[in-house]
Chain A
Amino acid sequence: MAYRFPTPVDIFTALGRSESLRLLHRPIGLMMPHLMGRMNRKLICGVIRLAGRRIAAPSCGSPATQLTNTTVSENLRDGKVMFKTIEKAVTTWRMDGDFTFSDLTIEPEACGCEIEMPDNSLPYVLTHPVQTPEDLRSLRVPDPYRDGRMPVLVECVNLLSKRFSLLTITGGSGPFTLASELMGSEKAAMATIENPDFLEELLEYCLEVNLRYLKALAKAGAEAILLGEPSGAILSPPSFRRFSGRYIKQLVKELGRPVILHICGNASHLIEEICDTGALGISVDGPVDLVDAAARVLPHTLIVGNMDPVEVFLGTDAEGVRSKTRDMLHSMRDFPYYVAASGCDLSPITPLENIEAFIDTVRDYR
């Protein structure tokens, strides 16, 4: 491959990853924005505009466990282990940002759901404790420093933000997704029609849980939040506005950190609703037509996505990933605020050379 001159973002991120060039205990990198105050929409859009190349942000926590010979569940139970894994991924792959694992069972578990935690895939919720108004009243808002595995993420974010001066991004579950776990997804879906008052009361609680947890993560150093609202994909646009968007809007306002909203599956019918939440960015999954979505978002809104984690990352080799990634980048060439990413979480057994091929292709594309 021909030599490419480093772009501004190459220099920034190299400094942000370095362990030797430190100032006030953290690497220089994006120190200026950090000192100027927290990241906001304008600043992030500015950085992306001036980057000189595309930013790569594959959701690669699970496969990065191959680099540290750990299991996914070991990482999700211990903030130091997770930190080590992400540190290794960021330095090995020269990543543009540091992202924690995405685990949407953290909030449900802290609120009382039982979960199943397989060794090598993401955990899932088994029980749905909120069935009656009494159940709802007996809930309390979890303490992010004490309850469930919330402290694991707080610790990991804390360590990451000290180790790197990159954009530290962590995740959380959206209010309707949390409500769906607490009630059971079918009951929550039906409640949008049959029992909206109860659902709204539950959503108020979920918003409180989300805010308290995400504020703790922000305090620990998270600059942006990737909010996962997969359950929202099943709602009609008006229902989404009422049972998800409205709460996310409030969350965005009160959190004071940029939020990127991720919806799994096909969210093509919700692009306008998602933008209306005030989210900095919208992250979409494989089934969404990226160009169509990008043409519909508001100005100064990032569009993030959406290389298929299975068909491409698992199903092809490095050459296949390179060619698909180039096609994707080419189709998005007219959109300044595009961030190249995987459509959803990558499987833990994703070949590492495929992840490398993705990141390198994005880095080299002009």
Chain B
Amino acid sequence: MDQKEKLAKAIIEGKMSETPGITEEALDQGFEPGILMNEVLIPAMQVVGKRFESQQYFVPEVLVSAHAMQGSLNILRPLLVTDGIKAAARIAVGTVKGDIHEIGKNIVCMVLEGAGFEVVDLGVDVPPPVFVQAADDGADIIGMSSLMTTSRNKMKDTLDSLSEAGLRDGVKVVVGGAAVTPAFAETIGADAYGRDANQAVQIIKDFS
């Protein structure tokens, strides 16, 4: 098994403590950071996503895999920057005000980073002005998560605030989370609904 396969296996199996070491070894053996990213990290997370869809994996397994991937990415990212490879887009992601569910949002952040996007994690319990500020600071895409039916209307408030600030046309808004349905996303006027992290990556790639 070469270093690439070893790294992919460690990510898929969620070996958080091993991925940084394997990544260093792969770089020492001369693998390009861009190659590792495109040919290992991204496909490995796709495998994890498929296992999640088929209920082979559940949230905890996806989380450790995402963290394992991030351990590798933390080493690769500075090298990608020096190689002049620019992030495809800047995405600001947060769980809306009144909701403190972090897991889904964190997985989306990590998977988007792994797919080569620049991610600004706004955290949980995020009020509309913070999303607006992120858009003002140059985010191309806003991602909002809500797992509670009581808090999901804050998504609409954020969209309204973006319009009031005159920033709505400059950003794409993607929403997701257990409390959100495609129909709801359409009703509030979001640009897209993402069922899970992999779908979010696909949607955002399609934007650009």
Contact = CB atoms under 8 A, between A and B. Distances in A.
Contact of B100 (A124, A234, A347): A124
Contacts of A184: 102
A269 B52 CA distance: 13
Interface in A179-212: 184-186, 189-190, 192-194
A205 to B, nearest CB: 20
B61 A125 contact: no
Interface in B38-95: 55, 57-61, 63-64, 67
B60 A234 contact: yes
A192 B150 contact: no
Contacts of B14: 193
B63 A190 contact: yes
A189 B60 contact: yes
Interface residues of B, number: 26
Contact of A310 (B63, B99, B125, B179): B179
Contact of B149 (A125, A126, A310): A310
Top 10 A-B residue pairs of the complex, sorted by shortest distance between their CB atoms: A234-B59, A310-B149, A236-B58, A189-B60, A192-B60, A186-B103, A124-B100, A121-B150, A193-B64, A265-B178
Contact of B101 (A185, A236, A344): A185
A320 B55 CA distance: 34
Interface of B is mostly: loop
A59 to B, nearest CB: 12
Interface in A251-266: 265-266
Interface in A230-257: 234-236, 239
A234 B58 contact: yes
Nearest to B65: A193
B203 interface: no
A121 B100 CA distance: 14
B60 A239 contact: yes
Contacts of B55: 269
Interface residues of A, number: 28
Contacts, number: 62
Nearest to A181: B100
Most buried by B among A126, A186, A266: A186
B127 interface: no
A275 interface: no
B23 interface: no
B34 interface: no
8 contacts: A126-B100, A184-B102, A185-B102, A189-B59, A265-B178, A310-B179, A314-B149, A344-B149
Interface in B87-115: 98-103, 106
Contacts of B151: 121
Contacts of B58: 234-236, 239
Nearest to A343: B149
Interface in A28-66: none
A21 B140 CA distance: 67
A79 interface: no
Given A121-B98, A347-B149, 11 more contacts: A121-B151, A124-B100, A185-B101, A185-B103, A189-B59, A190-B64, A193-B60, A194-B64, A234-B59, A266-B178, A287-B178
B98 A309 contact: no
B138 to A, nearest CB: 28
Contacts of B64: 190, 193-194
Interface in B142-173: 147, 149-152
A122 interface: yes
Contacts of A310: 149, 152, 179
Nearest to A345: B150
Contacts of A314: 149
Given A186-B106, A193-B60, A234-B58, A347 B150 contact: yes
Nearest to B102: A186
B16 interface: yes
A142 B122 CA distance: 34
Contacts of B101: 185
A118 interface: yes
A6 to B, nearest CB: 35
B102 A194 contact: no
A318 to B, nearest CB: 20
Contacts of A186: 63, 102-103, 106
Contacts of B103: 185-186, 189, 234
Interface string A116-154: 101001101110000000000000000000000000000
Contacts of B125: 116, 124, 126
